[in-house]
A and B are shown apart, each in its own frame.
Chain A
Amino acid sequence: MPAAIEVNAMNVVKMKNITKRFGSLVANDNIDFDLRKGEIHALLGENGAGKTTLMRILYGLYRADEGEICVNDNLVNISSPKDAIREGIGMVTQHFTLVPPLSVAENIVLGATDGFLLNPKKIRRLVTEASEKYGIAIKPEALVRNLSVGERQRVEILKALYRKAKVLIMDEPTAVLVPQEVETLFNSLNQLVSQELSVVFISHKLNEVMAICGRITVLRGGKLTGTVEHKDTSEKELAKMMVGRETFGVTRQQDKEPGEPILTIANLSFTDEQGLERLKDVSLEVRCGEVLSVAGVSGNGQSELVKILTGLKKPTSGRVVLNGRDITGSPPAVITAAGMGRTPEDRHAGVIGDLSVAENLALENLDEYKKRGMLDRKLVREHAAKLIEEYQIKATPEDHVRTLSGGNMQKVVMARALSRKPCCVLAAQPTRGLDVGATEYVRSKLLEQSDRGAGVLVVSEDLNEVMELSDRIAVMYEGRIMGIIPALEASEEKLGLMMAGVLEKDETKIL
Chain B
Amino acid sequence: MSATEEVPAVPVLVQAPPRSAMATWQRGALVLLGLAAALAPIFVLESFQLFQLTMAVIMALAVLGLNIVTGYNGQISLGHGAFYAVGAYATAILMSHGDWSFWATLPVSAAVCAGLGYAVGFPALRLGGLYLALTTFSLAVAVPQILKHRAIEDWTGGVQGLFLVKPDPPSWLPLDADQWMYLVALGVSAVLFLLSWNLIRSRVGRALMAIRDNPTAAEAMGMDTATLKTRAFAVSAMVTGIAGSLGAVVIEFVAPDSFGFGVSISLFVGMVVGGVASIAGSIFGGLFVLFVPNIAEEISKAAPGVIYGAILILFLFLLPDGFAGLLRRLAARWRDRAAR
Co-assembled chains A and B: no
Task: List residues of chain B with CB under 8 Å of any chain A CB.
Answer: none
